[in-house]
Structure 1
Amino acid sequence: MSAYIHNIATKVPKQSYDQSFLRDRMKEYIADKEFTQRIIHRIYSNSGINKRHTVIPDFNANGDPRFFFQQDGTLNVPSTGERNQLYSKKAKRLFVDTAHKTIDENPAVDYDDITHVITVSCTGFFAPEPGFEIIQQLGLPTSTQRYHLGFMGCFAAFPAMKMAKAFCASQPNAKVLVVCLELCSIHLQPSEVTDNLISASVFADGAAGMIISNGKPQTGFELTQFSTSIAPKSENDMAWTIGDTGFDMVLSTYVPDIIESNLKDSLKPLFEEYQQDADQIDHWALHPGGRAILDKIQKSVTLSNEQLEPSRQILAEYGNMSSATILFVLENLLHQPSENQQESVLAMAFGPGLTIESGFLQKIDHH
């Protein structure tokens, strides 16, 4: 039985900063040496990012208490507890708002129709988990099944899609609400280590929701087939650990090369299953983990600039919002005019492990 993404809704915090502004603040607060300042300048200037959204109140016009960058020129280093307290406060509201928007934008689905809620996040914790908050605030039936995927990183939307598809296969009337939310910016680390500087330059805050069911929509994506692979001996190149001052993110400079060298093997099962070649795919929806990652994939698979435009556009306007980012890319594709009623989409994301998750989707447009 087929399962379909009916619609995708995205939300970001109102606060945003230009990448050039963040670059200069990092040089001002983080770097003591001219050499490090030059590294920061180069990393931020070559990131392919124009702006990023954040829940951090520093530098906003409201004069709210600052979280990291103090007005006296010092840098506050909040504890893990303080960071998670901010996550709980901001994430609860954004989870609920995103869920509201996702359902409201789908005229074919009512609140009472939702049978399952899947929430996804790796940047904080609270219990009862986000699905409970969504059910309570939206007035969904207390019998609504809820599940939470945590600490899986940038590829976590794919396990959520696979889980939703399995629910639809076992329950024909299932209507699954998925919400991915990440507040990456609360885990800024005051480090001059290059890997930490790279992660600080790309990560941002955002959320996205989607509704998945067996009913075929006028416009949407059919979830056709998925594939998972793990790059050998790469688990130390992309990883999260919980430290005393937030979550420590390891994002090695080798990640783009690792993805490039393992890309063809990870895609092979999908291409063989559907007797497709890379040049037969109509659209590529790639998680924009960073500019170098997109550059490596474009070269490896010989993709045109047009095929990479959705991913590069999301990177430029939002940065890397971890698990939510691929849904921003898919929403972008969903709203693009279609030449045919059905077009193939290869979606892909990368995360800790180093894990490569990919999915073969069909874009449907009967308008």
Structure 2
Amino acid sequence: MATPLLERLKAAHHYHRAVDNGPAVVAVPVAAAALVAVALLAPEEMVLGHLRELRTVHLFLAVFVPAAAATIYLMMRPRAVYLVDYACFRTAPNCRVPFATFLEHAKQVPVLTDRSVRFMTRLLERSGLGEETCLPPAHHYIPTYKYCTLEAARAEVELVVFSAIDELFAKTGISPEAVDILVVNCSLFCPTPSFVDMIVNKYKLRSDIRSMHLSGMGCSASLISVGLARNLLQVAPHGAHALVVSTETITPNYYIGNERAMLLPNCLFRIGGTAALLSTYPVKARFRLKHVVRTLTGAQDSAYHCVFQEEDEHGNIGINLSKDLMTIAGNALKANITAIAPLVLPASEQLKFALSFIARKALSGKVKPYIPDFRAAFEHFCIHAGGRAVIDELQRSLSLSDEQVEASRMALHRFGNTSSSSLWYELAYIEAKGRMRRGDRLWMIGFGSGFKCNSAAWECIEPARDADGPWATSIHRYPVDIPDVLKH
């Protein structure tokens, strides 16, 4: 049985469709009636001689049925959704954590063994992270875990989220009162009151705002939030604004055990966040959202457990990353490619992909799958900067050049794995380098727990006018060479 809220949303949807398409609803029948009047009243030399001989029912079918069909189409077609602008949290120099600092702090944790410290050292040297990545203020105290309090976690949220939103409002000139929809995602920290309540209280947003906080969605959650905001904009008044905030709170998630698979997040994840403003109003928009494709493989036990929050044998909570993660991510990517390929690829690539798919089905998978050339569909790629291995695997699978994955590698080096917000730091890199052009197409690919592979296709309307943003103080030093093993 439908809930009252769902019924109200449906009613609002149909009402706004009717209002938004009101001119078309009125104009099409009026124009049709005018044509009939001209045909009946104009001199015979202006119309075909046999027009007067047609029956009334013929005129009705010939004029009003196409008019009704056109009206229904205009009312039912999805609205275009645009990215007005976005802003990434700018990390401060006093939050910087060089490898030596990180390892020195780790040595002060009594339960961590020398073996675990050596493991983290080797991991950092091969991670692709640089010496300027940042951690929240609580992680700069010794011993770290004693200062990872609820109050410190909230302070991190306010620092990251409010800074990004402040910059976004400044860039767009949009007032907080103009926000109709608010979607926030943070996987591991879900306090009460929620993130959306914190934002509503801070910016005094309207009482009728539609707000959601997504948790547990992992590093692909930003694209889930974008997809949710897009759907909500379809039933909101035309020109409504949706604020999407993506972050991961690092403070309360410091693992203090010796399980190697659970030490990985300590080494890779860093502070970061982003705020993006979406709208169905194209004026001043910078990108158009073309497609959002979500793939969830959680029905498979191995995929469900490959990124799993749990306790180790001593009761310490952490995120366990399975050794099969890359294989599972590859399978999820293939499923996502199968879904998005028909939407974005040119006809020639679609034909090759379709023939390969049919051959594999007919021959029970004995034919090697054809990986489409997505370089024919996109000029730019933003691959989740989850780690060097993730970027390497996608570069190989999609046959991308070094330049096409440069944004992902440099974002990982400069900012680390900032979870769901990493895609936006990569977009900021492309724009800071001045590589984005009007009409360019962009593919964002995110991976997350569950296991999920989500992607979004964008088209650039207006490139950034300058390099101001999270890369403002460092873009002149990039790209940098990243050795296989970093010596420090």
The interval holding the TM-score normalised by the smaller chain is 0.7 to 0.9
Q: Which residue of 1 aligns with 2:87?
A: 9
Residues 77 and 245 in structure 1, CA contact (< 8 A), matched pair in contact too: no
Change (3 A) 1:22 1:341: same
Residues 216 and 449 in structure 2, CA contact (< 8 A), matched pair in contact too: no
1:26, CA displacement in angstroms?
A: 2.9
Change (3 A) 1:111 1:291: same
- Amino acid corresponding to residue 92 of structure 1 in structure 2: E
Is it true that 1:101 corresponds to 2:167 in the alignment? yes
Is it true that 1:200 corresponds to 2:263 in the alignment? no
> What is the rounded CA distance, in whole Å, between the counterparts of 1:88 and 1:344 in structure 2?
37
> What is the rounded CA distance, in whole Å, between the counterparts of 2:90 and 2:308 in structure 1?
24
Q: Which residue of 1 aligns with 2:136?
A: 55
1:351, CA displacement in angstroms?
A: 0.7
Residues 156 and 251 in structure 2, CA contact (< 8 A), matched pair in contact too: no
Residues 99 and 124 in structure 2, CA contact (< 8 A), matched pair in contact too: yes
Q: Which residue of 1 aligns with 2:329?
A: 259
> What is the rounded CA distance, in whole Å, between the counterparts of 2:407 and 2:216 in structure 1?
26
The C-alpha deviation readout for 1:211-241, integer Å capped at 9, x for no partner, is 0001225562211112122344311111234
Residues 185 and 214 in structure 2, CA contact (< 8 A), matched pair in contact too: yes
Q: Which residue of 2 aligns with 1:215?
A: 281
Q: Which has the higher contact order (CA 8 A, sep 6+)?
A: 1
Change (3 A) 1:261 1:94: closer
**How do 1:65-76 residues align onto structure 2 when only pairs under 5 Å count?**
66=141, 69-70=142-143, 76=145
> What is the rounded CA distance, in whole Å, between the counterparts of 1:96 and 1:141 in structure 2?
17
1:208, CA displacement in angstroms?
A: 0.6
TM-score, normalised relative to structure 2: 0.66
The C-alpha deviation readout for 1:37-75, integer Å capped at 9, x for no partner, is 43222101011001322223354xxxxxx3xx33xxxx7
> What is the rounded CA distance, in whole Å, between the counterparts of 2:85 and 2:275 in structure 1?
8
TM-score, normalised relative to structure 1: 0.86
Counterpart of 1:278 (choices 369, 374, 380) is 374
Is it true that 1:42 corresponds to 2:122 in the alignment? yes
The C-alpha deviation readout for 1:177-200, integer Å capped at 9, x for no partner, is 111121224311122222122221
1:158, CA displacement in angstroms?
A: 1.1
Q: How many residues align?
A: 350
1:24, CA displacement in angstroms?
A: 4.6
Residues 257 and 296 in structure 1, CA contact (< 8 A), matched pair in contact too: no
Counterpart of 2:247 (choices 181, 193, 199) is 181
Residues 292 and 457 in structure 2, CA contact (< 8 A), matched pair in contact too: yes
Change (3 A) 1:31 1:303: same
SS at structure 1 position matched to 2:450:
coil
Identity in percent:
17
Structure number with the higher strand fraction is 1
> What is the rounded CA distance, in whole Å, between the counterparts of 2:82 and 2:154 in structure 1?
31
Task: Kindly name which structure, 1 or 2, has the bigger radius of gyration based on alpha carbons.
Answer: 2
Q: Which residue of 1 aligns with 2:474?
A: none
SS at structure 2 position matched to 1:49:
coil
Q: Which residue of 1 aligns with 2:387?
A: 290
Structure number with the higher helix fraction is 2
Q: Which residue of 2 aligns with 1:160?
A: 225
Runs of 5+ unmatched residues, structure 1: 60-65
Provide the aligned C-alpha RMSD in A: 2.6
Is it true that 1:236 corresponds to 2:305 in the alignment? yes
